[in-house]
Structure 1
């Protein structure tokens, strides 16, 4: 069985833009849902809507894959699932280690979507001696002293960091020194890595802060609208109706 240490996805060598690579998992998720419903073909418009992009961008992305669909028919769902899976490197086994088995790390370990998408959780690692040997998601937690040995034994090239921020860089350095070339970082800190190592960061607090910004902006827009109109649902003129003079168009109180 091939492992991630000896095979790399073909996307970079074929010159597929990073923005397109970032959208390929969105297309694959939508296509997989269609496949599970036994849908044989899909139009670019339907697939773009399901993936949350515009159809012109989708067609451009697929042109990098050499897939153009058939006019009046659309794209073959099963073929696209295979094609995108191949480009993303999901037609082979990718052993993964998760470092930091707290609440988040344990939740990641129990996530059932890894195996179905080509990722095998090879080991769970934690610095707490009390965690050593405890089963999580069917795997015994191993101590960080074994990190390098685990990476070598399993041919791991993808590491997931779910430690506190203060420990993340040290863990990252050890993973890289052991041969890890791709890291998914859940720790709330920015990691420093050498050239040739890819890091993807997932920070839930940042995403929530961005949503809070938009909520505040929407609330501000609503407040401004109320100020402009005088009331939330009535125009300013209607709000001044009761203050008109006897002729109906002159304020009852004139400025001095």
Structure 2
């Protein structure tokens, strides 16, 4: 069985975010609270449709869904037609109970004693996540990190796709990355509004990140992936997920530290 996969880092959300160790989430409940119903793979997926996302889904549960989706897509590529929560647990490191509980927030999908139809569950998770259509993304900051992000995204992804890149450096403006012309930062609001972009990536220095976030929000962006090493202040209704490579490496250093001296 795969090693336990830690929950993804909590997103910054104006309504609060779930804390470590089962602390209350944004809706006042810990994820996996005792007494919450955890169904088995109980209902025939041909008879029970997935429900719309309810208002009380914990952020951490939403952030686990893409992990399940990736595992399901791998299993489907290996010609698995039926999968169980135990199969998903082996691939993801999450427990079968946790997987069933997360899926149950959105309806009932499986057949008791049999499992889930892999292709059906893939399609439903993609629909729940909004990946059954192309999600356009704006990226601000075309330095080394931003360039690498664009190249990876444009060659690997067809659903969440960077469609516009902005930078304030005159030396970068007009250059191309994977077919996208780097546009001046001054054009950011107009382009984002015209394209209806709601998701953006910030890959600028810390000193510039807050102003970039403010401008993105004013242009209509409601979800931000932030690579700048700074906490962003955003209004209610805007979600920020922070990716700080330094913090990630510092936490990993704990696991390779020398044993503490004794005596």
Partner of 2:190: 149
Residue number among 242, 245, 248 corresponding to 1:201 in the alignment: 242
Cα deviation 1:143-188 (Å, max 9, x = unaligned): 1010111101211101100001111111111111111111110011
- Give the corresponding residue for 2:165: 124
Equivalent positions of 1:21-32 (< 5 A) are 21-32=62-73
Which residue in 2 is equivalent to 1:77? 118
Superposition pairs of residues 202-241 of structure 1, within 5 angstroms: 202-216=243-257, 219-220=258-259, 223-224=261-262
1:211/1:176 CA distance change after superposition, 3 Å:
same
Structure 1 or 2: more helix by fraction: 1
- Indicate the larger mover: 114-123 or 182-191: 114-123
What is the Cα deviation at residue 74 of structure 1?
1.5
- Give the drift of 1:112: 3.8
Is residue 109–residue 121 contact of structure 2 (8 Å, CA) maintained in 1?
A: no
Q: Find the partner of 1:180 among 213, 221, 224.
A: 221
**Moved segments of 4+, more than 3 Å:** 112-117
How far has the Cα of 1:91 moved from its partner? Answer: 1.0
Deviations 1:54-91 (A, max 9, x none): 11111111222223422342111111111111111111
Match of 1:57 in 2: 98
TM-score using structure 2 length: 0.76
Query: What is the number of residues matched between the two proteins?
Result: 212
Q: Secondary structure of the equivalent of 1:111?
A: helix
CA distance in 2: counterparts of 1:112 and 1:176, whole angstroms: 23
Residue pair 1:114, 1:120 contacting (<8 A) in 2 also? no
If asked which structure has higher relative contact order (CA below 8 Å, sep 6+), I would say: 2
How far apart are the structure 1 equivalents of 2:155 and 2:130? 14
Alpha-carbon separation, structure 2, partners of 1:15 and 1:168:
30
Aligned CA distance change for structure 1 residues 49 and 117 (closer, same or farther; 3 Å): farther
Mapped contact 1:98–1:123 kept (Cα < 8 A): yes
Q: Which structure 1 segments of 5+ residues have no match?
A: 1-9, 228-256
TM-score (norm 1): 0.78
Structure 2: gaps (5+ residues) = 1-51
